[in-house]
Amino acid sequence: MDNKSIRVLLVEESAFATQHTKKMLAEAASSEFSVELECADQMSVGLERLSKGGIDMVLLDLTLQDTDGLETFQKVHSFTSEIPIVVMSGLDDEKLAIEAVQQGAQDYLVKGRVDGNLLKRSILYAMERQKAEKRIQKLNRELEQRLEELRATNEELEAFSYSVSHDLRAPLRAVDGFSRVLSEDYGEKLGGEGKRLLGMVRDGTKRMGQLIEDILALSRLGRKKIKKNRIKMEKLTSNVLDGIKASDPEEKARFEIKELPPSFGDETLVLEILTNLISNAVKFSRNENTPVVEVGGKEGDGENTYYVKDNGVGFDMKYVSKAFHVFQRLHSDEEFEGTGVGLAIVQRIVHRHGGRVWAEGKVGKGATFYFALPSRKEE
């Protein structure tokens, strides 16, 4: 604790109140608490003294002659945001005093109900509170800066992965094209083993192409601007199902759409979520005799939760944290094709909406994927 004196400016019109304050401070003085009191009996005098500097804190009466109540406080406060202000109000002015605190005063005192100890406590408290406020403001500024840096780094990474994937396409096209020519025009000359090896080259090429497209899709997500609207989830889900049936009329999965509350989000992106989750559900339950895919949802407090459930091959919960990572797969390529980007896309979209995504599964019993989207905030 500093032993130096606290220089307090008292802005008070009443001669008695001024004397009384002096006396209270003298009573409360100790080796750790010493106050140098300066007095101003008018707002203008007070402001002038403040402008000369050296004041550590202000005791301000809210009923001065030239101004009124809150305006009094605002004038002094705008003059100096570095110096803590404690306002003094009358017995019935608690509301006014609290408004002053809301607008930046560190504390308030009720005239006629103050003694030396209370005054001392209020002064010391106000000084500490002001310091704490400054610390928080500084931390906030630093956070903002770091946020900006992070944003910039993120953008660079997105641009990088986009351009790399993009630039990989051209040479890949060459490999794909020429290996196809080889296979079509020189296949006979290659012989059995040669044809098999070329086949593996072409498979690898296809897979690489898929990977590149997936990375591109993922990185495009980062740049897109989100436009939120009210979405009829039941309609969107049946769109997805129509798409699935159209691309595979033989699809034997049974779909159960339960009641779905409307959501608030970017329709294209939410469509992407549903497409990914539902086609995953279809894919991983393909081996069942009766694959069943259930889609449902419910309204919650501040957010709506939706789920896609299947009775397919499931997964071990031990590895659930891997499920949403890019290229992480919980099943081998032989069992089920895929690059492991679908869930990463879902997660990124959900997070960009400010929502959450999680999953439950049991080996051999199927899996349920949940996502929650925040509801529209009522303004």
Partner 1 sequence: MSEITDNHELMQVFYKETQDLIDEMKKDLATLKGEEDFKVLRRLFRCAHTIKSSSGSVGFDDLEKVTQSLERIFQVARDKSLAIGSDVIPLLMESADLCERLLRREEVTCYEELLERLKDVFPA
Output the smallest distance, CB 4 to partner 1, in A: 28
Output the smallest distance, CB 44 to partner 1, in A: 17
Question: Rounded to whole angstroms, how far apart are CA atoms 340 and 326?
Answer: 6
Structure tokens at 228: 């939120």
Output the smallest distance, CB 15 to partner 1, in A: 5
Q: In terms of CB distance, is 15 or 363 closer to partner 1?
A: 15
Distance (Å) of CA 57 to CA 107, 222, 272, 305: 12, 49, 58, 52
Question: Rounded to whole angstroms, how far apart are CA atoms 175 and 206?
Answer: 10
Output the smallest distance, CB 62 to partner 1, in A: 10
Note the residues at the interface with partner 1 (CB under 8 A). Answer: 13-17, 19-20, 23, 63, 65, 90-92, 111-114
Output the smallest distance, CB 115 to partner 1, in A: 8
Q: In terms of CB distance, is 22 or 331 closer to partner 1?
A: 22
Q: In terms of CB distance, is 19 or 239 closer to partner 1?
A: 19
Output the smallest distance, CB 54 to partner 1, in A: 27
Residue 159: Cβ within 10 Å count: 13
Q: In terms of CB distance, is 91 or 170 closer to partner 1?
A: 91
Is 293 within 8 Å of 282 (Cβ atoms)?
Answer: yes
Output the smallest distance, CB 269 to partner 1, in A: 55
Output the smallest distance, CB 229 to partner 1, in A: 47
Q: In terms of CB distance, is 99 or 214 closer to partner 1?
A: 99
Q: In terms of CB distance, is 29 or 292 closer to partner 1?
A: 29
Output the smallest distance, CB 24 to partner 1, in A: 9
Q: In terms of CB distance, is 35 or 277 closer to partner 1?
A: 35
Q: In terms of CB distance, is 34 or 67 closer to partner 1?
A: 67
Question: Rounded to whole angstroms, how far apart are CA atoms 272 and 278?
Answer: 10
Q: In terms of CB distance, is 15 or 147 closer to partner 1?
A: 15
Reduced 3-state DSSP string for the chain: CCCCCEEEEEECCCHHHHHHHHHHHHHHCCCCCCEEEEEECCHHHHHHHHHCCCCCEEEEECCCCCCCHHHHHHHHHHHCCCCCEEEEECCCCHHHHHHHHHCCCCEEEECCCCCHHHHHHHHHHHHHHHHHHHHHHHHHHHHHHHHHHHHHHHHHHHHHHHHHHHHHHHHHHHHHHHHHHHHHHHHHHHHHHHHHHHHHHHHHHHHHHHHHHHHHHHHHHHHCCCCCEEECHHHHHHHHHHHHHHHCCCCCCEEEECCCCCEEECHHHHHHHHHHHHHHHHHHCCCCCCCEEEEEEEECCCEEEEEEEECCCCCCHHHHHHCCCCCCCCCCCCCCCCCCCHHHHHHHHHHHCCCEEEEEEECCCEEEEEEEEECCCCC
Q: In terms of CB distance, is 11 or 372 closer to partner 1?
A: 11
Output the smallest distance, CB 139 to partner 1, in A: 39
